[in-house]
Structure 1
Amino acid sequence: MGAISRDGLDVARRSREIVREKIREVLGEDIERYSEWEMRIIERVVHATADMEYAKLIRFKNHPIERGIEGIRNNCPMVVDVEMVKVGIRYDNIFSFIDDERVYEIAKEEGITRAAAAMRVAKPYIDRGIVVVGNAPTALFEVVRLIEEEGVEPRLVIGVPVGFVKAGESKELLRSIDVPSITTEGPKGGTPVAVSIANGIVELSRGREV
């Protein structure tokens, strides 16, 4: 969890114990549906947000953690929607194109958001790479379009944009297609959720405790 001192490790350990207890209370018998790795990711998100509802909101499709671990071990590119997400993830081969000059041009010419335009610029990195969307629903819509219309094949899409406008719809659309994904239901999500999921998979790929 990032702690290195004895006191920090003790706090992190006790926090994790509390989180696990509360997740068991929230999920009840449904906890049996999740694998050990899935539970580690759920615990990490709940720990990062202090929001127990995430235990019921996170969805895993098509063995996404395994696909993510495989990709990271092969140093595949990771594309994110905004700089906030990029700076939080402990992985070197990571890209954010939101401030790329080409993005401004495409957004203006096509009448689309910069977040969507950034995914178009990122297309070569998305194919066989990992995508992490924590803020912009339009970025996630564009990723789905690239998959369906242009044959792009990401290893994993972590789609957890936050908000009351199009966020839930973008995640539902992602869950409707046959691609490994981790999403949240409804409007909840955001940078802390995206970063905690991505870092959890990075840590698992390195054989570390999540």
Structure 2
Amino acid sequence: MNHNANVVTEQLTAAGRAIEHDSFAIIDAEAGPHAYSADQWPVVRRMIHANADFEFNGLTDFHPAAMEAGLAALLKGGTPTTPGRGTNIVADVEMICVGLSASRLKHFGVTTHHFISDADVIAQAQAEDTTRAVQAMRKAHRQGLLDGAIVGIGNAPTALIEVVRLIKEEGARPALVIGMPVGFVSAAESKDLMAEVQDVPWIVIRGRKGGSTLVVAAIHALLGVAEARQRNAA
């Protein structure tokens, strides 16, 4: 393997790496010119790679500080040999946590959290006639997990709307919000709300498209850029 290439955030076999690199080269060629920075493009490219949809070249929108904030959050975890206190990832659904590579998260000391199926979350949602996703975000905030975290929302627009409320009304301060809920009811609106926030960096997909697989792709891309930064600093 090229010693100047990533190791932790790459496919584990030469054949797998070749396929992924060939896929990225095809995406680069077919996407053509774009308005994204050199740091932002790997995120958009991996999202296109996740479901072969070139519309994410244009639909994906970044807060100006999004990449630096996300990378700083990941890199504060250090490395396995020089560990730091890793960042939390708070997700709206279990699918995001399951989809993320355990070995890549471990390298950066990252811990994932989701509360959507917790009994107390379900009971509170029923009692208040809200969604489980809303109550899950409130539980994360009560536990102090949102501050400094990467928040990944791929399924529930109500979760993203609640995160915006927690930021504006209760002082929650995630390091980065990856807001990509998919759907037809409030999905586009929830992302537009997030994109109005200035105090907390975000990455959103405009419109109805989104999904947990895209949040996973975005986080894996961030991990890849973070490893490259880590390696270059060594």
1:55 counterpart residue number: 57
In the alignment, the residues of structure 1 paired with residue 119 and residue 13 of structure 2 have an alpha-carbon distance, to the nearest angstrom, of 43
1:79 counterpart residue number: 90
Gaps of 5+ in 1: none
2:24 counterpart residue number: 16
2:115 matches 1:97 = yes
2:167 matches 1:165 = no
Match among 148, 171, 174 for residue 154 of structure 1 = 174
Task: Tell me how many residue pairs correspond in the alignment.
Answer: 203
In the alignment, the residues of structure 2 paired with residue 207 and residue 38 of structure 1 have an alpha-carbon distance, to the nearest angstrom, of 14
1:5 counterpart residue number: 13
In the alignment, the residues of structure 1 paired with residue 38 and residue 154 of structure 2 have an alpha-carbon distance, to the nearest angstrom, of 24
Give % identity: 38
Match among 193, 199, 209 for residue 220 of structure 2 = 199
How far the C-alpha of 1:192 sits from its partner, in A, is 1.3
Match among 67, 91, 113 for residue 65 of structure 1 = 67
Match among 97, 104, 109 for residue 127 of structure 2 = 109
1:142 counterpart residue number: 162
In the alignment, the residues of structure 1 paired with residue 128 and residue 161 of structure 2 have an alpha-carbon distance, to the nearest angstrom, of 15
Give TM-score scaled by structure 1 length. 0.91
CA contact (8 A) 1:77 1:130 kept: yes
In the alignment, the residues of structure 1 paired with residue 96 and residue 19 of structure 2 have an alpha-carbon distance, to the nearest angstrom, of 25
SS in 2 for 1:138: helix
1:184 counterpart residue number: 205
Q: Counterpart amino acid of 1:60? A: F
Gaps of 5+ in 2: 1-8, 77-85
Q: What do the CA deviations read for 1:21-69 (whole angstroms, capped 9, x no partner)?
A: 1111xxx3xx2x3211101111111111101111111000132111011
CA contact (8 A) 1:80 1:131 kept: yes
In the alignment, the residues of structure 1 paired with residue 15 and residue 111 of structure 2 have an alpha-carbon distance, to the nearest angstrom, of 32
What value does the CA root-mean-square deviation take over the aligned residues? 1.6
SS in 1 for 2:172: coil
Moved more, 181-190 or 81-90: 81-90
CA contact (8 A) 1:102 1:121 kept: no
Stretches of 4+ moved more than 4 A in 1?
none
How far the C-alpha of 1:6 sits from its partner, in A, is 2.8
Moved more, 157-166 or 3-12: 3-12
Q: Counterpart amino acid of 1:89? A: L
SS in 2 for 1:206: helix
Which structure shows the bigger proportion of residues in helix conformation?
Answer: 1
